A = this chain, B = another copy of it.
Amino acid sequence: MIKLHHLNKSRSKRIIWLLEELGVDYELVAYQRDATTFLAPESLKAVHPLGKSPVLEASGYTIAESGAITEYLIQTYGADKLMPAPDTADYIDYLQWMHFAESSAALPLLLKIFVKMDGAETRFIGGYADAETAKVISYVNDRLEGKSYLVGNSLSGADIMMSFIAELVGQNGEFDKYPNIAKYYQQLMSHASFKKSMQIEAEHDR
């Protein structure tokens, strides 16, 4: 049985969505952030030394990176779903978004959140984070012009990885500024598996 170690208000809700979309049986082990520090609990360190979530246990493997978990689950249980055929241009795009979500996109967005949480005056980090975030989000918005999904015409692992970024845009109140991302997020939310994952996440978020 697959086991997903899930932390509330974290990127692991993407993996709930993926498991629901794949229709794979799994057990969810829920963890709660500290109400004051917002940090993950120490108990997650017993699961993986980095003490983060998502962590997936499957077939004797422990996997602790969202991108690796997504690639693994789709390759293992996808059966041509959620992933374009290799040797196609779409597959290249799929790989790019798979990595983009947690590298080029996540870095400036998280930097911006850190600077805001810190509250101290910065010489350039604050401005850099704002400029890079705008650049990255504009790029995503441009790429979504006239499209319902990032890759091809159907839901793929790329959308599941990037849903976190689209959600952050909404949380920052910037859907008006990036209308293609707003429409895209509505499209993602129309999936029954996504609605179910939001419900499961809410149930485990005290």
Contacts and interface: CB of A to CB of B under 8 A. Distances in A.
Nearest to A96: B68
A128 B114 CA distance: 10
Interface stretch (A19-27, A58-66, A176-184, A185-193): A58-66
Contacts of A98: 67-68
A106 interface: yes
Interface stretch (A118-126, A146-154, A167-175): A118-126
A67 B49 CA distance: 23
- The binding surface of chain A is classed by DSSP as helix
Copies in the complex: 2
A100 interface: yes
Pick from A64, A67, A75, A123 the residue with the most CB of B within 10 Å.
Answer: A67
A43 interface: no
For chain A, the bracket of interface size reads 35 or more
A30 interface: no
Interface of A: 49-50, 52, 60-61, 63-68, 71-72, 75, 86, 89, 92, 95-96, 98-100, 102-104, 106-107, 110-111, 114-115, 117-125, 128, 135-136, 139, 142
Given A65-B100, A117-B124, A120-B120, 16 more contacts: A49-B139, A50-B104, A52-B104, A65-B99, A65-B103, A67-B95, A71-B95, A99-B102, A102-B103, A103-B103, A114-B125, A118-B122, A118-B125, A120-B121, A120-B123, A122-B122
